[in-house]
Structure 1
Amino acid sequence: MPYQWTLSETAHGDVECLRLWPHRSLPRWGFAVFILITCVMFTMPLFPLLGTATLWGLLPFLVLAVWGVWYALQRSYRDAAMGEELTIGREEVHLRRTNARGPVQDWESQSYWTKVHMHPTGGPVPHYVTLKGKGREVEIGAFLSEDERKALYGEIAEALKRMVEPDPVVGPL
């Protein structure tokens, strides 16, 4: 899944951190292999044209086609360079969304008053997950798949519940 939970200790107690990122179906090494194969496939029909003027007429268009594919894939990588970080502590919940091309967005609320909601319909995507607190409702994980959002909803609800429950009594005083 394209998200990961971590637990860290701070001066204010334990904090659960969630990092989310969009799924990449083509890794960087796959991008390099794809461009290499594309170049090889484009040059194969040019072998019979070696030494002719037609080669020089076709070559700019083939180079332009390879550049177009390269540019489109690079643009896709830049658009997916986004992520979200959710920090759940005993006192405060903080969500930071890093957009691909735009400002970083921050939201925070007190842990006790923060609620997680799932909207099965009516949102921009099915099973839309939001956090509500301090008079605002913000989305989280809209770029995840539907099954991942369903699982994420339960995990965030459990993490909030763990953090706002009072510490168990160690023993009699």
Structure 2
Amino acid sequence: MPVAWNNAAERAPAGTGAFCHAAGGPPYASARLWPHRSLPARGFAAFIAAFACMILIPVVPLLGTPVFWGLLPFGAGAVLALFYSLQRSYSDGDLVEELTLWSDRVELVRHDPRQPDRSWNANPHWIRVSIRNGTRPVENYLTLSGNGREVELGAFLSPEERLVLEDELRLRLARLAQL
């Protein structure tokens, strides 16, 4: 699952204001969520090279003929178009959501590759974690409500991963309320 949780110690340090955002304390827990990468960098290069070789197969017998020069721009264009579209898809995968939990604040920051960062925060005692089990807008739609807003969490995760994330988040919020 493309979620990494960083947990603080189970018990708060002796100092006052432990796990408190207002006092500048460390977060109780934080999670970093990112989309799946089905094609690693090495696979990306290998796929482009294999595609270029496949494009060359029907063109090689035409070497030295005027038809070769007519087909070459289209083959090169196809390789460049594939490269550009995969590169664009790869940069879209740089999307990251960071969820941070303190005793007095929960903060969600979404880092989009082509948009400014978006953030949301609320008091953890008033947050509602909910999941909608329908197909609209997506299956197992996970949201956080609080501070007058409702935000989506982990839109790029699979429905099963959103269920697991909901359980983990509810567990951490319950532990945080006991501190």
Q: Which residue number corresponds to residue 56 of structure 1?
A: 69
TM-score (normalised: structure 1): 0.89
C-alpha separation in 1, matches of 2:159 and 2:145: 20
Question: Contact 1:117 / 1:131 at 8 angstroms: preserved in 2?
Answer: yes
C-alpha separation in 1, matches of 2:52 and 2:135: 45
> 1:35-68: CA deviations, max 9, x gaps?
0001111112222222222211111111011111
Question: Contact 2:4 / 2:33 at 8 angstroms: preserved in 1?
Answer: yes
Q: Which residue number corresponds to residue 96 of structure 2?
A: 83
One-letter amino acid matched to 1:105: R
Q: Which residue number corresponds to residue 12 of structure 2?
A: none
Q: Which residue number corresponds to residue 170 of structure 1?
A: none
C-alpha separation in 2, matches of 1:64 and 1:55: 14
- Which of residues 115, 137, 147 is equivalent to 2:128? 115
* Structure 2: gaps (5+ residues): 10-18
Q: Secondary structure at the match of 2:60?
A: helix
Question: Contact 2:27 / 2:100 at 8 angstroms: preserved in 1?
Answer: no
Aligned CA-pair RMSD: 1.7
Q: CA deviation at 1:26?
A: 1.3
Question: Contact 1:13 / 1:90 at 8 angstroms: preserved in 2?
Answer: no
Q: Which residue number corresponds to residue 106 of structure 1?
A: 119
One-letter amino acid matched to 2:65: T
Deviates further, 62-71 or 42-51: 42-51
- Which of residues 35, 55, 61 is equivalent to 2:48? 35
> 1:141-168: CA deviations, max 9, x gaps?
11110000011100000011111113xx
C-alpha separation in 1, matches of 2:46 and 2:135: 41
Pair 114,120 (structure 1): closer, same or farther in 2 beyond 3 Å: same
C-alpha separation in 1, matches of 2:90 and 2:117: 18
C-alpha separation in 1, matches of 2:71 and 2:8: 59
C-alpha separation in 1, matches of 2:58 and 2:33: 44
One-letter amino acid matched to 1:126: E
Q: CA deviation at 1:14?
A: 4.8
* Structure 1: gaps (5+ residues): 167-173
Q: How many residues align?
A: 166
Q: CA deviation at 1:123?
A: 4.2
Deviates further, 50-59 or 142-151: 50-59
Residue 127 in structure 1 maps to residue 140 in structure 2: yes
